[in-house]
Amino acid sequence: MWKYLLGIILLLLYCSCYQETSVDDSKIFRLNRYDNISSLDPIQARTQANNWACNLMYNSLVKIDYDLTIQPDIAERWNVSDDGKIYTFYLRQDVYFHKHAAFGNDSTRTVKADDFTFSFDRLKDPKNNGAGGWIMNNIESYKAINDSVFEIKLTDAFPPFLGLISMKYASVVPKELFADGNENFNQHPIGTGPFQFKIWEDNVKMVLRRNPLYFEKDEQGRALPYLEAVNISFLPEKNSEFLELIKGNVDMMADLDPSYKDEILSADGNLNPKYRDQLYLRKEPYLSTVYFCFFLDDKDAIDHRLRQAMNYGIDKNKIIKYLMKGQGFAADGGFIPKGLPGHSNTSGYRYDLERAKELILAYKKEFPNAKPITLTTVQEYIDICEYFAAEMGKLGLKIKVDVVPGPTLREGKATGKFSFFRANWGADYPDAENFLSLYYSKNFAPEGPNYSHYNNSQFDALYLKTFNENDAEKRAEIYAQLDKLMMEEAPILPIMYDQTSLFINQKVKNLRMSPIKMLDLTRVYKEK
């Protein structure tokens, strides 16, 4: 009996795959995710893989464009009260859910304001274990005024709020698919986005098909998206993904791995000439800072003088030039990355070898028998960490590099197990508050993202002041002050501001990546 059922399942999968390949190949975008997709439920859009898939399938009230500007999405316009606490959204009337039998004979319906009430209730409910429930923390209440007007009231004014609810966690989903719990939705997720669910074989492939009811149109009035399907594979090895790109079986690769970095890039950081007939390289800013973090809330915490010495004693431009092949920017300006209002070139530490030596010498005079310092990292960043250790060794500061698996590092930095470790932080929403929240004392890990356990009452007061400043320029000035104040105590050592390098098949046009590294294929097309 089981053999018979297995045969039926394989036959159905074969038929589905055959139907998908019958579509003109120039209408199919082929993508690989080596890190797999764990969920297509938007309240679980925590990882980049989940986020990319959810961005293709769902819409929120608002969205962020490539210039980090808040744009209408399902809400065509909105008003904000004078005190900054009440947001009133006016919804489009032409947004439909993907077709599904749960909607009855019509197989679909338009999105109404109470769908956002349901979606927010679901996101907020701890029983659903949503990864994004934290974005609801400052929301006092929300309600549907009528079918087309949705109101949100905040507990406290928070100027970055629109960016916060642009995240995929706040996407709208239909209540009909949750009538019997989450099972129906997990098996066949439904949204409103440009692509809709078709097939998912865990760790093998996923197919999304064009949503014929999608509400967006291009400037000539043509229906979007242009593509008919998105085919996602799950090859776990990054080198395999690179080989599939070269073979033409994958249309885009957005990660630069050491295993093929020297092969695909020339010495000056541009595309290797031998691949220019089949690929092109597009470099996009990515709001992410790679840094080393010191855990301060410990009796063996690394001394302030040594933290400053390490900041002064590393030539970050050499790291970018020789180890990263020009893929990124030296982080000489504090924690806030380039491109975000609040970034300042004066917030951080410039390379100053003499100052670094002075600080180390002063420390060693006081503590001549100090223990070696251990820097914990993952394999991906071992070259940067070993270079750093070698440079510190020249200054008389012994650094041991300890390589651990990714999950071990994530757990250890959250629980205070490691005194000095490699980390990175990417923007969830386009506001420097997203970065500075890592140093607010009430955000201590593991409950919050303050992995250093930095604690400064002056910083806290200034940080809270930004919530009541609606003028963007004035708020950016405060952000710069905060960054500078935090860096004076050096709870971190910023290494580089990241960028995304997109290696794209020559046939693919209009493909960009947002600064928060969100994949949008709505306007992408392929030449035959």
Bridging pattern class, strands 508-509 and 525-526: antiparallel
Tell me how far apart the alpha carbons of residues 178 and 242 are, in angstroms, rounded to a whole number.
40
Q: What's the whole-model pTM score?
A: 0.80
Alpha helices in 188-303 (DSSP H): 238-247, 258-264
Token pair recorded at residue 109: 């319906």
183 Cβ partners below 8 Å, 6+ apart?
none
| Per-residue model confidence as pLDDT tens for the chain (528 residues) | 444 344 444 444 444 444 444 678 899 999 999 888 999 999 999 899 999 999 999 999 999 998 888 999 999 999 999 999 999 999 999 999 999 999 988 899 999 999 999 999 999 999 999 999 989 999 999 999 999 999 999 999 999 999 999 999 999 999 999 987 878 898 899 999 999 999 999 889 999 999 999 999 999 999 999 999 999 999 988 889 999 999 999 999 997 887 888 899 988 889 999 999 999 999 888 899 999 999 999 888 999 999 999 999 999 999 998 888 888 899 989 999 987 889 998 899 999 999 999 999 999 999 998 889 999 999 989 999 999 999 999 999 999 999 999 999 999 999 999 999 999 998 878 899 999 999 999 999 999 999 999 999 999 999 999 988 888 889 999 999 999 999 999 999 999 999 889 999 999 999 999 888 899 999 999 998
Output DSSP code: residue 467. G
| Greatest Cα-to-Cα distance within the chain, rounded to the nearest angstrom | 82
Residues sharing a CB contact under 8 Å with residue 395, sequence separation 6 or more, in sequence order: 309, 313, 353, 356, 357, 360
330: closest CA among 499, 488, 497, 491?
A: 497
